[in-house]
Amino acid sequence: MWICPLCSQEFVNTNQVHSCRDKELADFLNGKSQHTIELFDHLVNEYKQIGDVRLHPAKSMISFAARKRFAYIIQLGKNFVDVVFPFKQAYEDNLCFNKIKPVPGSDDYNHHFRMYFKEDINDEVRMYMKMAYEIGC
């Protein structure tokens, strides 16, 4: 593992391109509705039940990481949380992703999940959360 000498973040790759923690978690949560904060907390707690995770706030997103980053909160909305799971293949046969797009310049597919209610994290979503976590280990 390489540790950035400026921000102390850990990365699998030496000299990994990143933004050096120019934001804190509180910056993302500040001014958000109680509902959105509860959704965020629920998502984090669901991931903690899967395994040991760390949160990495960056310039425009919050990433979940084990050994490496595996899922990304890309928006904390007024009444929702948007999460992206990158996978090597498109999982089209599902009920949980509202969008699946290839990542330009990569062989990954971003799977977009929008969470409006705590109950939106069901068994299907947990399965994909575990798959993403295993990629990050």
Q: Is 113 exposed, middle or buried (0-12, 13-18, 19+ CB in 10 A)?
A: buried
The one-digit pLDDT tens for each residue of the chain (137 residues) are 667 666 666 666 666 555 666 788 999 999 999 999 999 999 999 999 999 999 999 889 999 999 999 999 999 999 999 999 999 999 999 999 999 999 999 999 999 999 999 999 999 999 999 999 999 99
pTM attached to this predicted model: 0.85
Domain ranges of the chain: 21-136
Q: State the DSSP string of 21-41.
A: --S-HHHHHTT--HHHHHHHH
Provide the CATH number for the domain formed by 21-136 in this structure. Answer: 3.30.1460
CA torsion through residues 11, 82, 118, 36, sign: positive
Q: 81 with 94: CB under 8 angstroms?
A: no
